[in-house]
Amino acid sequence: MVSKQSDLSGLKGRIPLIGLTGGIGSGKTAVSDLLGSLGAGIVDTDLIAHQITSPKGVAIEAIKEQFGADYLDAAGALNRGKMRALVFAKPEARKNLEAITHPLIRLETIKQAKRLAAEGVPYLVFVVPLLLESGSWQGLIDQLVVVDCPEEVQITRVMQRSNLPRAEVEKILQAQAARKDRLASADIVIENQASFEKLKAEVNHLHEKILQIK
């Protein structure tokens, strides 16, 4: 189970390794930004996934070869909308895409984590949207933080932020782990259904708690 992230295992025991997950639009980025401003070392796998599929990103050539230039946009980045439609319709396509992206995300994750640890951050936070679904993190992380809010709040936020129709957002939610399963796996739950002010107070508390981890 640990094998996929085994190159990170050298960090285990040296500094706390925190997993941060939550459903789409729950507020993972908001929480990791706040933790980052408090001095945490943030490795955001979603950001890495975007970087490797941006124009000239390291995954672009392989994606073009596998799926055709049609799946790139005018700037040469992955056409996310088109790819999302394909992988929802064809599980095989999802597998092919992940066979390209996952090893590259893993490499970059390891690189960033090692660099941040060498810089002396007090702890590392791995932001992994599908942490529960991927199954490869459980043996590595010391504490799992789940950002949570009611599904209706997730739907409203994502519709607004990404300009997606409700049905599309609901489809994404259904493809992710169920809220109750995520909550059941959590060591720490951050409630994010109220204001940013409330969230900030919760995250300050979380930061203090993580600093206590031996």
Residues between 31 and 70 with contacts to ligand ATP, criterion CB under 6 A: 46
Minimum distance of ligand ATP from residue 201's CB (angstroms) = 11
Judged by CB under 6 A, which of 18, 20, 24, 63 binds ligand ATP? 24
**Count of residues of this chain found to bind ligand ATP when the rule CB under 6 A is applied:** 17
**Cβ–Cβ under 8 Å, residues 28 and 147:** yes
* 192-196 contact pairs (CB < 8 A, 24+): 192/22, 192/26, 192/27, 192/30, 192/31, 192/147, 192/148, 192/149, 193/148, 193/149, 193/150, 193/153, 196/30
Does residue 19 interact with ligand ATP by CB under 6 A? no
Does residue 84 interact with ligand ATP by CB under 6 A? no
Minimum distance of ligand ATP from residue 92's CB (angstroms) = 25
Does residue 26 interact with ligand ATP by CB under 6 A? yes
Judged by CB under 6 A, which of 16, 19, 22, 57 binds ligand ATP? 22
Rounded CA gap, 161 and 102, in Å?
26
How many residues does this entry show for the chain?
214
User: Interacting stretch for ligand ATP, rule CB under 6 A, among 72-80, 99-107, 154-162, 181-189?
Assistant: 154-162
Does residue 179 interact with ligand ATP by CB under 6 A? no
For 30, counting Cβ atoms within 10 Å of its Cβ (0-12 exposed, 13-18 middle, 19+ buried), the class is: middle
**Residue 194 or 213 with smaller CB distance to ligand ATP:** 194
